[in-house]
Chain A
Amino acid sequence: MPEPGAAIAVDGLTKRFAATTAVDRLAFAVAPGELFGLVGPDGAGKTTTMRMLAGVMSPDAGSAIVAGCDVVRDPEGVKHHISYMPQRFGLYEDLTVDENIRFYADLFGVSRREREAQATRLLAASGMERFRDRLAGQLSGGMKQKLGLTCALIHTPQVLLLDEPTTGVDPISRRDFWRILYELVGEGVTVLASTAYLDEAERCHRLALLHEGRLLLCDAPARLKAGMPGTVVAVTAPAASAVRDALRSMPGVSSLLIVGDGVRLVVDDAGARIPEIHARLGASGLVATEVAVVPPTIEDLFVASVSRPGAERGS
């Protein structure tokens, strides 16, 4: 039974394409005013889920309630309460920024006054005011995404569905984008955003980690990290490959990766293993600049949930 009052409630949601189950008995609920992330690699089922929630694709099984509408029974009804920004938002490249906004405002039946107020606010928040007369086709990737968001938000939806809004967008534009999203949730809009970038997951209030159509984990980022099995230790050292070789046969290590400044490993017990790391490095004539416990990333969690310990290839 979906939680009463949820802005989005999904239960047993399933979609098959021929032999592939793209979305497999998905269940989660999003509270009003929550910024919720659908996080996972390509092929995890993010876009298919978004499409079903937007009422543009019907599920094979399960239920989805969005903004109080049953999207299975009434896919048209939901469209009045949501705004959906697909990966390729339909901007008119031969129209200017302003003309695109006007087009979508007319489509959603937004009054001129409302349109002006909303467009001014959103363009200011995204640093795009001085580009109002530029053709959409001449905007950078990041600016196109921000214009897409402005058009999608020109009417005030209860629920905003964003499919990979930051793909191909540089970090500065991505920060702008997230700032706008936090403002919207501050005003009570519910936001469901998907991303293939696991570092972005940290910005969501809560997130669902998807893998091959299934829900791996669902919680607040800090709670998910607190539940990480094992402890991540970063060994900063030159000659990372020698460090890796020295630590390879150490017991209690479930992952051992070369990164830019050294090696990252997941150990069962940091208190016992850190002295052992120093001892093993010393025995091999190696010196680490630093050996420290670091917070796990969402990627660490993802990998720990999908792979058996030691399944990663060390070389």
Chain B
Amino acid sequence: MNDAPAVLVEGLVKRFGTFTAVDGVGFSAQRGEVLGFLGPNGAGKSTIIRILCGLLRPTAGRALVAGFDVARDPEAVRAHIGYMSQRFSLYDDLTAVENLRFFGGLYRVPAEMLAERIAWAVEMAGLAGRETELVATLAGGWKQRLALGCAVLHRPPIVFLDEPTSGVDPVSRRQFWQLIHHMAESGVTVFVSTHYMDEAEYCHRLALIDGGRLVALGTPAELKRGSIAGALLRVECQPLGEALAALARAPGVLEAAVFGDAFHVTVSSAAPALRDLPGWLAAQGLRCGSIAEIPPSLEDVFVARVGGARA
């Protein structure tokens, strides 16, 4: 088996007129890797994905997808990728199998292989017995797995998923992600672009994009360890309104935000804050309940790493 990366991106730049949407991005993805793309609206995520799908030509730099150069050989790139959009573009008035046949034609699956591939997709998506149901009558989870089946019918080594499980019920979402990991184990490289941190948790590595640049790249655990200056505490304190104002000026506190019926408080150092904060809050006439250090969430990472000036 060759060890060449499935995707290799170097010094990638894309300008639209005077606007630089992608500004010198470089990374690589291995076979069997699930790589998440995170970033605020307008960060350049979709532009990068479009370039990697051979739909946009880079202004500078290069990108190799499955060994093909996206600028020189976009046709070959497109034949080696699968793409599943957020609103999985299925035909509601066709049956499940008719959709698979349609996408099989679109992706030029050889006729002699089509029946076998459709049977594989039906099995993978757990659609046995529902092959002839209209897509319109299928529930979200089924549709989503059918859309994945359509996107990978031609056995692409690289698959792009755009917010694949948004709005899908949690049980189906978990099934979907176990399918994705199963595909990855067989060597498929999966790119996931999302705003949702619970989708990001399923990725092996995450690339954080902001202002057209790659601002962080690492496993979820690495990013959680390395992103927060200081430590994060969960603090219960009442009444909420006065407690928020007090926390904002408490010694050692960098940031305080309401989180349900408690606060998430970023402090410069955990030990002194855990020791001193309860007494300090009590001295302000506030009732302090439990206080504990908590691991930062990926959302905390996102907010810490991405420029806060954005609206």
Which A residues are closer than 8 A to B by beta carbons?
40-44, 126-128, 131, 140-143, 146, 167-173, 175-176, 178-179, 182, 186, 196-199, 202-205, 211, 220-222, 236, 240-241, 257-261, 289, 297, 299, 302-303, 306-307, 311-315
Bound together, the chains give a CA A43 to CA B139 distance in angstroms of 9
Indicate if the CB atoms of A198 and B170 lie closer than 8 Å: yes
Indicate if the CB atoms of A240 and B181 lie closer than 8 Å: yes
Q: A140-B42, A179-B257 in contact; A42/B140 too (CB < 8 A)?
A: yes
- A171 CB, min distance to chain B CBs, angstroms: 5
- Select which of A167, A170, A297 is within 8 A of B198 by beta carbon: A297
- Select which of B185, B205, B257, B303 is within 8 A of A171 by beta carbon: B303
Indicate if the CB atoms of A257 and B178 lie closer than 8 Å: yes
Bound together, the chains give a CA A211 to CA B308 distance in angstroms of 35
Indicate if the CB atoms of A171 and B195 lie closer than 8 Å: yes
- Select which of B39, B167, B221, B241 is within 8 A of A236 by beta carbon: B221
- B52 CB, min distance to chain A CBs, angstroms: 20
Indicate if the CB atoms of B198 and A303 lie closer than 8 Å: no
27 A-B residue pairs with CB within 8 Å: A44-B169, A131-B311, A140-B42, A168-B195, A170-B39, A171-B302, A178-B258, A186-B240, A197-B196, A198-B198, A199-B196, A199-B297, A199-B299, A203-B259, A220-B261, A222-B261, A222-B262, A241-B181, A257-B177, A259-B201, A259-B202, A260-B203, A260-B220, A261-B204, A261-B221, A303-B171, A313-B178
Bound together, the chains give a CA A142 to CA B42 distance in angstroms of 10
Identify the 10 closest CB pairs spanning chains A and B, nearest first: A41-B169, A42-B167, A170-B40, A258-B181, A140-B41, A127-B311, A182-B258, A196-B167, A186-B241, A261-B221
Indicate if the CB atoms of B170 and A302 lie closer than 8 Å: yes
- A56 CB, min distance to chain B CBs, angstroms: 22
Interface size for B (C-beta < 8 A) is 54
- B126 CB, min distance to chain A CBs, angstroms: 8
| CB interface residues, B 123-164, toward A, < 8 Å | 126, 139-140
- Select which of A126, A306, A315 is within 8 A of B178 by beta carbon: A315
Residues on A with C-beta less than 8 A from B169 are 40-44, 211, 306
Residues on A with C-beta less than 8 A from B258 are 178-179, 182, 203
Residues on B with C-beta less than 8 A from A140 are 41-42, 311
Q: A173-B311, A197-B198, A313-B175 in contact; A142/B41 too (CB < 8 A)?
A: yes
Indicate if the CB atoms of B198 and A299 lie closer than 8 Å: yes
Residues on A with C-beta less than 8 A from B174 are 257, 303, 312
